[in-house]
A and B are shown apart, each in its own frame.
Chain A
Amino acid sequence: MSGADKKFDVVGKARRRVDGRGKVVGQLRFADDLVLPRMLHCKLLRSPHPHAVVESVDVSRAEGHPGVHLVLTGEAFPVPYGIMPVSLDEHPLARERVRYVGDPVAAVVAKDEQSATEAIELIAVRYRPLPTIASPEEALANPEARIHDYGEQGNIHRNQAYEFGDVEGALAASDLVFEDLFFYEGNTHLPMEQQASLASVEGDGKLLLQSSTQNPHYLHRQLARVLQMPASQIRVIATPNGGGFGGKCDPGNHEFVVCKAALVLGRPVKISLTREEVFYQHRGRHPVLMKFRTGVSKDGKLTAMHLQTLLDGGAYGSHGPASTFYTGVLTPVTYQLPRFKFEACRVFTNKPACGPKRGHGTPQPRFGQEVQLDKIADKLDLDPAELRLGMVTEPGSLTASWLRVGTTGLAACIRSVVERSDWKAKHRKLPLGRGVGLACSTYMCGAGVAIYWNKMPHSAVQLLLDRSGQVTVYSGATEIGQGSDDVLAGLIAEALGIDTDAVRCITGDTGITPIDLGSYSSRVTIMMGNAALQAAGRVRDQLAAAAAEALDTLPERVVFSQGRVFAVDDAGKAMSFVEAVALAEAKFGTLSAVGSYTPPKPPGKYKGAGVGPSPAYSFSACVVETEVDPATGWIHVPKIWIAHDIGRALNPVLAKGQVIGGVYMGLGEALMEEQAFRRLPPKLSDALVHRNPSMLDYKSLTALDMPEVDVTLIEDPDPNCPYGAKEVGQGPLLPVMPALANAVYDAVGVRVDEVPVTPDKVLRALERKAKGEAARVGPEAFPEVPYPSPTFVLPPWENGDGDELKGADGKPVRRERRVATA
């Protein structure tokens, strides 16, 4: 499906996105814009305690408040849910336990939001506080009180270890071993649209939920589970999302609550979260503490890496099991790494649950790895760009962990930003206070396995054509602003040789669209796209057969372009697309086709090999320029250059927008975005509260803080992707944070091994440097984590077979856990 030598009509041309007009005229209806007759309004009562037993809930006064129709408590929801089958640990409303400040306890449905808000205050809840677990260190040190009664042990949710080849041996044989600790603070998605949901019982008696969700399919499954209804009786429509970034992937408490209320009352019920509540729904970037031990040869080649991570998961599982894997699994994809060991642990704490945010689990280790590479280059006196160019992974190669790299434009990306930023003239050459930093990254084009185990397609598309020439395309994929509807329309239009204007997209509706798993893991362009091209190909075959008869040519000689259907060798033999459709409809009956896509089987066979494989990987390289004031530590970023290996840009305006948007979010994380918490003095209070749950205090860069970004798209079509197009929604965020930290080092010679990189940290590092201490700010210690013995897998080049090492009894051989001695 690469179509490498095809001439395109639609693909690669800058176009107005198909949903663009509705957005600029204010006509697009987001979830909270929807209004139904007899609609009621819902508000949630949330826990003021970080950790407590709910002893009783008295709703009588609230029920008596004027305008109140219904009050719900945890009793209404006996069945738990969770986005991953291994972590079904949430209830829509707390039943016995609250686990963070903001955990929903009860709900009021009233005639208007004001009445519901007033009634919420009339609910009396008796809590018995439990000890507050505020940090991963506290979680490890305090197996009791257990936040959940499941997990590995105590307050450890997930704990895992993998070793690909003998890492300690390789480190011992290395010329140099670099050991570094890094910390990456948590942050959140902050979509401009606060989540909203409208539930109603339709005329046919079925439940309809219209909601700002990225994953209507997974939500649909969880609704059926929690409401104990057949999925066929529930329809979920994903309304256009006012930004997602991963924050609308998990099913939300509020979604179950309004559904239940609508079913009880028989009236539409809407909820719209306040901005503060969005911070509690969270599911954002995990705070991660990391330890890297990396071996290198004197000429700058990696020999082995031992990576340890510790994730602060917050109060619930969410995507945590996947997030835990992602703090390691993509690490070996960028550079040749002969041996790799990866230990990861996720703990529960009494904070809003962390989950997937743009880059899911990978920005944290990428930051550590790319800053450490900068230190390695410095020590070896090598140019950081040259160091990286000398070890990029080969196209089609396998990593030590058995991931298939596929196409890679990483070297081209590095060369591009080096040239465009005038890197050679700047790096280590600018005056004190100015610097440049470089970093690289990779990301998946869709996760190789679904969130729940099944053998069915990951994406499906249905096409319906009729004699009017109208092409309707149905897909479960969800528009979150990234442009998935436009990708869909563009691919269908290209395949059928028509304008996108002739394509109508019906998407994200479990009642009428075929299943797509959702807008996460940068999977939509590749998976939905391949399904769309398959469907279009099937319809095109029918159109070609009918047209060929009329044009007196062979079907394979029929060309579709610009609304015309004609013979390749005789332009006189031609008809309009509409005519071709009518002929085919006469010949074959009503025209319709489906297409579906299932990703290739991953090469790795060991348990856990399912996380990390992808049909293709995108690559990015970034140079950030900084001006850092040595007197104050103040950081100014005048310019950023980025190159992204996109395979092919389907709509360059949108592709470029995704790149700049990723850089924006990355720079925000690098400089100031923090989902941080305040623990009040334990002697006086159990409180553990969000520090900054508002748009004012959670710092998102304004137009004045955002520099101009120079974007290069590297187009090397990938054969696994539709017309060669890889992902662009997540990858370009990833190199920004380490590039910024490396630029700060180049400017003033200090390391901030921590995200965000703030002026106070820079100044503290400068003061340490002036005193002759280590010119660094960052974590000082990594706690003792009881990682399990690793699953041992031989790398491909050590005669491995992709499976874990097994003994004569067929059981996996666990390598004895070796604790490194510093």
Chain B
Amino acid sequence: MNAGVEKGVAKAVTLRRNVQIELQVNGEPTEVSFAPYKTLLELLREDLDLPGTKHGCELGECGACTVLLDGEPVLSCLVLAVECAGRSVETVEGLAQGTRLHALQAALTDLGGSQCGYCTPGMLMTAKALLEREPSPSRERIREAIAGNICRCTGYQQIVDAIESAARELRAGGETAR
């Protein structure tokens, strides 16, 4: 069995040097230097001091690391950080305006859609993209949209309630809540 130890280990030794890119993070132009093997998830959490984006598997199997890349929800654990040059990234930290919560944030916590809170950042970003594209989604459409975000606490029902409620509020013109 010990023979297996050497198998499969990368043989090529690559030159180990940081790379540097510029991108927009939550609307701010940002310059950052990082190890090129890093994903957007690692870049945000480790190099941009934005740990609000969570990790649950790092293999694209849970949705916890969802961020918006050029407005689309993607899994930051499978986005190469070098591929974010010149692009726009939105994370949960950029959702509130100052201290005023986005309608989705307020609804999610007020209606029970956030228990342990770990899937919450990813869920919020997914929901934001949905409501920007479809202002009045049915419960079924909401479930389809969040089907890539696993939540172990809520059973999703109160999350769906919250997204429905926030959609109503946003349609009525409310941008933010307390």
Chain A contact residues, CB within 8 Å of chain B: 14, 16-17, 19-30, 32-33, 35, 48-49, 114, 121, 124-127, 129, 189-194, 240-245, 274-275, 480-483, 653-654, 656-657, 660-661, 663-665, 694-696, 700, 702-704, 706, 708-709
Report yes or no: B155 in contact with A706, Cβ–Cβ below 8 A.
yes
Instruction: Note all chain A residues with C-beta closer than 8 A to B148.
Output: 702
* Chain B residue at smallest Cβ distance from A700: B150
From residue A522, how far is it (CB to closest CB) to chain B in Å?
15
Given known contacts A192-B54, A703-B146, A656 and B158 CB-to-CB distance under 8 angstroms: yes
Q: Does B115 contact A (CB under 8 A)?
A: yes
Residues of B within 8 A of A27 (CB): 52
Given the complex, which residues of B lie within 8 Å of A706, measured CB to CB? 155-157
Pairs of residues from A and B, 7 with the lowest C-beta to C-beta distance, nearest first? A26-B52, A481-B116, A242-B118, A23-B117, A664-B155, A20-B109, A26-B92
Chain A residues whose CB sits within 8 angstroms of the CB of B170 once the complex forms: none
Q: Are B155 and A23 in contact (CB under 8 A)?
A: no
Report the minimum CB–CB distance from B7 to chain A (whole Å). Answer: 11
Chain B contact residue count (CB 8 A cutoff): 61
For B146, the chain A residues whose CB sits under 8 A away are 703
A192–B108 touching, CB < 8 Å: no
Q: Is the CB of B54 within 8 A of A193?
A: yes
Whether A694 contacts B59 by the Cβ 8 Å rule is yes
B9, B56, B108, B110: residue with the most chain A Cβ atoms closer than 10 Å: B56
When C-beta atoms are compared, the residue in chain A nearest to B110 turns out to be: A16
Cα–Cα, bound, A320→B177 (Å):
48
Bound together, the chains give a CA A484 to CA B108 distance in angstroms of 18
Docked complex Cα distance between A121 and B111 (Å): 47
CB distance from A282 to the nearest CB of B (A): 15
B154 to chain A, nearest CB (A): 5
Q: Using Cβ atoms and an 8 Å threshold, which residues of chain B touch A30?
A: 54, 118
* A193 engages B156 (CB within 8 Å): no
A192 x B160 contact (CB < 8 A):
no
Question: Which of B115, B119, B146, B156 is packed against the most chain A CB atoms within 10 Å?
Answer: B115
Interface code B1-31, partner A: CB below 8 Å = 1, 0 otherwise? 1101100010000000000000000000000
Nearest CB in chain A: distance from B120 CB, A: 5
Q: Does B76 contact A (CB under 8 A)?
A: no
For the complex with contacts A33-B45, A653-B158, A695-B62, 8 further pairs of A-B residues with Cβ separation under 8 Å are A14-B110, A22-B117, A192-B118, A242-B54, A275-B56, A481-B116, A657-B153, A661-B154
- Whether the pair A193, B109 counts as a contact (CB closer than 8 A) is no
Contacts of B168 in A (CB 8 A): none
B64 interfacial contact with A, CB 8 Å: yes
Describe A's contact surface by its main secondary structure: loop
Supposing A694-B57, A703-B149 touch, asked if A660 and B116 sit within 8 A by C-beta, the answer is: no
B81 neighbours in A (Cβ, 8 Å):
none
- Give chain B residues whose Cβ lies under 8 Å from the Cβ of A25: 52, 92-93, 95-96, 101, 105
On chain A, the residues within 8 Å of B110 by CB distance are 14, 16, 20, 653
B143 nearest in chain A by CB position: A703
Q: Contact between B115 and A661 (Cβ–Cβ < 8 Å)?
A: yes
Q: Which residue of A has the minimal Cβ distance to B113?
A: A657
Q: Which of B49-108 contact A (CB under 8 A)?
A: 50-59, 61-62, 64, 91-93, 95-96, 101, 105-106, 108
Take A193-B118, A653-B112 as given contacts and tell me if A481 and B153 are in contact as well, using a CB distance cutoff of 8 Å: yes
Q: Which residues of B lie under 8 Å from residue A664 when comparing CB positions?
A: 152, 154-156
Docked-complex contact A695 and B156, CB < 8 angstroms: no
Are B114 and A20 interface neighbours, CB within 8 A?
yes
Contacts of B111 in A (CB 8 A): 653
Q: CB < 8 Å: which of A24, A194, A660, A708 contacts B55?
A: A194
CA distance A53 to B81 in the complex (A): 43
A653 to B118 alpha-carbon distance, docked (Å): 18
Chain A residues positioned under 8 Å from B48 (CB to CB): none
Chain B residues with Cβ below 8 Å from A482 are: 115
Answer whether A660 and B54 are a contact pair too, CB < 8 Å, given A21-B109, A24-B109, A124-B5: no
Q: How far is the CA of A704 from the CA of B54 in the complex (A)?
A: 22
Closest chain A residue to B91 by CB distance? A26
Tell me what chain B mostly uses at the interface: helix, strand, loop, or mixed: loop
Question: Which of A22, A48, A702 has the most B CB atoms < 10 Å from its CB?
Answer: A702
Closest to A194 in B: B56
The one of B59, B64, B147 in contact with A702, judged by C-beta atoms closer than 8 angstroms, is: B147
Known: A114-B37, A709-B157. A275 touches B57 (CB 8 A): yes
B43 within 8 A of A: no
Nearest CB of A to B48, in Å? 12
Q: Knowing A23-B114, A121-B9, A194-B55 touch, does A126 contact B2 (C-beta < 8 A)?
A: yes
B167 within 8 A of partner (CB): no
A706 to B142, CA, bound (A): 13
User: Which chain A residue has the least Cβ–Cβ distance from B150?
Assistant: A700
Q: Does B124 contact A (CB under 8 A)?
A: yes
Which chain B residues border A653 with CB–CB below 8 Å? 110-112, 158
With the chains together, A661 CA to B118 CA distance in Å? 15
Contact of A274 among B58, B91, B96, B156 (CB under 8 A): B58
Residues of A within 8 A of B114 (CB): 20, 23-24
Contact B154 A193 (CB under 8 A): no
Q: What is the CA–CA distance of A35 and B51 in the complex, to the nearest angstrom?
A: 10
Q: How far is the CB of A100 from chain B (nearest CB, A)?
A: 15
Q: If A16-B109, A275-B57 touch, does A26 touch B153 (CB 8 Å cutoff)?
A: no
Give the docked Cα–Cα distance between A703 and B53 (Å): 20
Chain B CB within 10 A, most for which of A16, A17, A26: A26
State in angstroms the CA–CA spacing of A241 and B5 once bound together.
35
A704 and B143 contacting across the interface, CB-CB below 8 Å: yes
Which of B105, B106, B151 gathers most chain A CB within 10 Å?
A: B151
* A464 CA to B96 CA, complexed, in Å: 33
Complex-state Cα separation, A481 to B151, whole angstroms: 12
Residue of A nearest to B153 (CB): A661
Complex contact A26–B116 (CB within 8 A): no
B2 to A, closest residue via Cβ: A126
14 contacts between A and B (CB under 8 A): A24-B109, A24-B117, A25-B101, A26-B91, A49-B1, A114-B35, A127-B2, A129-B1, A192-B62, A240-B117, A242-B118, A243-B115, A481-B153, A664-B156
B residues near A114, Cβ cutoff 8 Å? 35, 37
Task: Please determine whether B117 and A695 come into contact, CB atoms closer than 8 angstroms.
Answer: no
Which residue of A19, A23, A702, A709 has the most chain B CB atoms within 10 A of its CB atom? A23
Contacting pair B156 A703 (CB below 8 A): yes
Cα–Cα distance between A192 and B96 once the two chains are bound (Å) = 24
**Complex: how many Å from CA A23 to CA B95?**
12
Given contacts A114-B37, A706-B157, contact A481 B115 (CB under 8 A): yes
Q: A24–B124 contact, CB under 8 A?
A: yes
The reply to whether A21 and B59 form a contact with Cβ atoms under 8 Å apart is no
Pairwise interchain contact A48-B109, C-beta atoms closer than 8 A: no
Residues of B within 8 Å of A32, CB to CB, are 51, 55
Q: In this complex, what residue of B is CB-closest to A664?
A: B155
Q: Which residues of chain A are within 8 angstroms of B95 by Cβ–Cβ distance?
A: 24-26
Tell me how far the C-beta of A278 lies from the nearest C-beta in chain B, rounded to whole angstroms: 10
B101 with A700: CB separation less than 8 A: no
CB-nearest residue of chain B to A20: B109
